[in-house]
Amino acid sequence: MDLALTNASMDDSFFRQLPDHTFASANALWGIASDSRAHWGIVAADFHNDDDIDEFVANGGWKSIVSNQILRNDLNEGGIFFDASPGALDFNLIARSFSAAALDHDNDG
């Protein structure tokens, strides 16, 4: 993945850069489903410590109180991202989220 965009009124967009330096949508290719929640922010980080960059999506914002999402990157294993939120405890927090940040303060992966 080279570019990820969130939008509070449309689906998120995930792109891969092509050799000619243009970008192609990868949502369908990577199994990223359409989602009607208001997406306000996204953070790319390795949340599962498996050397793949996952995506945390902050949802809700001004529009609604909904759950956030963690999209687990399994491109190397299964060729898709999947919504791992239901079993991810704090990632599935129901709130009015506007943004997110990630930090490995103690550098333990």
pLDDT (tens digit per residue) in 41-81: 899 988 878 888 888 888 888 877 888 888 888 887 778 88
Q: Kindly report the length of the chain.
A: 109
Q: Which of 4-13, 67-76, 78-87 has the lowest mean pLDDT?
A: 78-87
Residues in contact with 52: Cβ distance below 8 Å, sequence separation at least 6, in sequence order: 46, 72, 73, 74, 75, 76
In-domain check, residue 104: no
In-domain check, residue 82: yes
Distance of CA 6 to the CA centre of its chain: 9
Does residue 94 register a pLDDT over 80?
Answer: no
The number of folded domains in the chain is 1
Q: In the prediction, which pLDDT does 21 show?
A: 95
Q: How far is CA 13 from CA 19, 24, 55, 74, 106, in A?
A: 19, 10, 12, 17, 32
In-domain check, residue 101: no
pTM for the model: 0.80
In-domain check, residue 102: no
In-domain check, residue 84: yes
What average pLDDT does the segment 30-46 reach? 85
In-domain check, residue 86: yes
What average pLDDT does the segment 97-107 reach? 85
The domain of 31 spans: 3-95
